[in-house]
Amino acid sequence: MKVEGATTHEGRAGLDMTDPRFWRAGAISTTLVMLVVLAFLSVDSMRVISVGGAHVPRYDVVNRHIGYQYDWSRREDVPVIGAPEPLFGRTLTEAQATALVREGKLVIQSRACMDCHTFFGNGAYYGPDLTKSWLDPAWPQIWMPMTGKPTREEAMVAFLMNPDQYPTWTRAMPNLHLTEREARATVAYLKWMSAVDTNGFPANFGKTQTQQ
């Protein structure tokens, strides 16, 4: 199938590589194959990442202790879901936990936290990554003393309601006027999120005792 053209090189095996139609067929078939593969992988991924799937816990995980430990067989850090440890001292039913975490997500979207912070490393880079914020040593080490609150979750609520009053350095977080209810929901969200299995990201979290 030779069409007239400026410079023609004869393709091998009778195929004319300078004929656009040859490449058009290639483009269409490659695309279709890739789309089919992606569809299968997406179905499988949804199974793993839907709530209660292999990598994403149910929302009532907020009733439990959550850790993040090195797993020698996987050679990376993995979340460890431990003994009961109710959030704000109250054990929630699954429905209550779901509603609370849902509200937390709405807080996060309505205030556009993602345009300063990252979640699982996605978002903006002005503030710290929040993937494992629940587990951040800054709560017991800095903010519990600073806010005078006895527990991690209460210190988080105090901080989220008035971040401008508790800065740890010059780049402070502005006040986004969260109500107490909104701040509690956000804390629940962060706790749930820290229990998601992220294939080891972030690595070495909280392993190094850095000092200011």
Beta bridge partners of 84: 64
Q: In this structure, are residues 144 and 150 in contact, taking their beta carbons and an 8 Å threshold? A: yes
Report the partner that residue 90 touches, choosing among other proteins, ligand HEM, ligand HEC, none (CB closer than 5 to 8 A by kind). Answer: none
Give the nearest residue (CB) to ligand HEM. 124
State how far the Cα of 99 lies from the Cα of 59, in Å rounded to an integer.
9
Residue 23 vs 201, nearer CB to ligand HEC: 201
CB contact burial 81-106 (16+ within 10 A = b; e otherwise):
eeeeeebeeeebeeebbbebbebbee
The residue among 132, 167, 166, 137 whose CA lies nearest residue 152 is 137
Q: In this structure, are residues 130 and 117 in contact, taking their beta carbons and an 8 Å threshold? A: yes
Residue 64 vs 191, nearer CB to ligand HEC: 191
Residues 102-131 that bind ligand HEM (CB under 6 A): 121-122, 124-126
Instruction: Mark 15-34 with x for binding to other proteins (rule: CB under 8 A) and - for no binding.
Output: ---xxx-xxx-xx--xx--x
Report the partner that residue 94 touches, choosing among ligand HEM, ligand HEC, other proteins, none (CB closer than 5 to 8 A by kind). Answer: none
Instruction: Mark 157-186 with x for binding to other proteins (rule: CB under 8 A) and - for no binding.
Output: -------x---xxxxx-xxx--x--x--x-
Given candidates 23, 70, 125, 126, which one binds ligand HEC under the rule CB under 6 A?
Answer: 126
